[in-house]
Amino acid sequence: MTSLELRAVLTELDLTQAEFARLLGVTSRAVALWAANERAVPGPVEGYLRLLGTLPAQLRQNELIRLKQKGTSMRDGIFGVTYEGKVGAGFAMLTFDNGRVYGVDTERGCYDGEYLFDEASSLAKVNLKVTMPANIMSVFGITNPYEWAIEVTASLDPKRDTGIVEVKNALGSLHAQYKFLRALPDA
């Protein structure tokens, strides 16, 4: 499949490159590279487009409507998070990007995980591993002479610009406030 054919199919399906990327679970940059003929369109992508083209018009339209509705439900971007624990407070910057979450906090803690948008509740369910550096006191009052990690979970409404969430983990829970800072760039 050539870049011209890809652009023609996207036009025919009335899909933007960003929507197509979301449908495939790839970055918008990847689709832009294919459309600009800077990278070859992968075989599985070409196969998916052929399959999508063979669907009856109503099924294809239902899938595309669901994609567009889902796209407006989950807002990827950069969120600022303030939190307070038993022995201190902190601030983290988290990036939500196509099901992945990653970031850092003021104490050099590293966040890596995923989110799943639940259409029924309209909440993003977040699962993170927080890795703390050696000899740094956590807001739970724990410090270790070695790097250590803890799993945390939370649910947030990604359509709201601000909100309060309960962050749960094996050491207890804490309340955090999040603020949507900006959207991710398309390229």
Give pLDDT, residue 74. Answer: 62
d(CA 86, CA 92): 17
Identify the residue with better confidence: 81 or 48: 81
d(CA 141, CA 150): 13
Tens of pLDDT, residues 112-121? 999 988 878 8
Long-range contacts of 31-36 (CB under 8 A, 24+ apart): 32/186, 32/187, 34/3, 34/6, 35/3, 35/6, 35/7, 35/10, 36/3
N-to-C CA span, the chain: 22
Confidence at 72, pLDDT banded by 50, 70, 90: very low
Mean of all residue pLDDT scores within the chain: 86
